[in-house]
A and B are shown apart, each in its own frame.
Chain A
Amino acid sequence: DAKTTQPNSMESNEEEPVHLPCNHSTISGTDYIHWYRQLPSQGPEYVIHGLTSNVNNRMASLAIAEDRKSSTLILHRATLRDAAVYYCIRTNSGGSNYKLTFGKGTLLTVNP
């Protein structure tokens, strides 16, 4: 049970922003929200994570709802290399075990 819900697929155009939603309505107070992505024929790659506040890094931004029941991964300008499966994952990273429970993720297609 991945405990998050994501759309199966989304489509975007190159150089446009992409907003990838994730629902995690049963999230607990100590659960972090992590995003990983998997390019074709590659292992998953870390994108970003957060707890309560919005987060930015060189790859993306993470917007977390005030009630923490949902979040949105934002790619500010999609490129063809961003085409991948994006996974939204809850973890209790406060512990020593960083086990990730993946769902099916969202397949992002980027059109030129």
Chain B
Amino acid sequence: DTGVSQDPRHKITKRGQNVTFRCDPISEHNRLYWYRQTLGQGPEFLTYFQNEAQLEKSRLLSDRFSAERPKGSFSTLEIQRTEQGDSAMYLCASCGLNTEAFFGQGTRLTVV
């Protein structure tokens, strides 16, 4: 197992387009998190899944954002009608029972 992987690593999109990011957690981890990080700031929590259930969403997650984790394995984060303010690093993390969080390398989104 190579850890948490995220795809793509970089995405440039035009304002108004939709984008989707994928996260593959460590296989035995049942908890999965999405964070967003802008330049000079620490990561901010977006949403949390336990298995396939989305248990918490931040108010940062506007109605243009949606996340899924079908079958409790990989997860996708979709942003509809992107805005320049959506430009950020999107990080995924997973953890199992009584383990620390393992983060992926993130997807850097640039909205032009």
A residues apposed to B, CB below 8 Å: 2, 34, 36, 41-46, 49, 85, 87, 96-105
Residue of A nearest to B94 (CB): A98
Interface residue count on the B side (C-beta < 8 Å): 24
In contact, B42 and A87 (Cβ under 8 angstroms): yes
How many inter-chain residue pairs (CB < 8 Å) link A and B? 55
How far is B103's CA from A46's CA once the two chains are assembled, in angstroms?
9
In contact, B41 and A104 (Cβ under 8 angstroms): yes
Which chain A residues lie closer than 8 Å to B91 at the CB level? 43-44
How far is B42's CA from A34's CA once the two chains are assembled, in angstroms?
14
Q: In terms of DSSP, what is the predominant structure of the interface of chain A?
A: loop
Which chain A residues lie closer than 8 Å to B56 at the CB level? 97, 99
In contact, A46 and B100 (Cβ under 8 angstroms): yes
Q: List 13 additional A-B contacts (Cβ < 8 Å) besides A41-B105, A96-B31.
A: A42-B106, A43-B4, A43-B93, A44-B43, A44-B93, A45-B103, A46-B100, A96-B50, A97-B31, A98-B33, A98-B101, A100-B43, A100-B45
Which chain B residues lie closer than 8 Å to A103 at the CB level? 42
Contact of A43 among B41, B45, B95, B104 (CB under 8 A): B104
B residues apposed to A, CB below 8 Å: 4, 31, 33, 35, 40-45, 48, 50, 55-56, 91, 93, 95, 100-106
Jot down 22 A-B pairs with beta carbons below 8 A, ordered by A: A36-B101, A42-B105, A43-B4, A43-B91, A43-B93, A43-B103, A44-B43, A46-B102, A49-B100, A85-B42, A98-B95, A98-B101, A99-B33, A99-B48, A100-B43, A100-B101, A102-B35, A102-B42, A102-B43, A102-B44, A103-B42, A105-B42
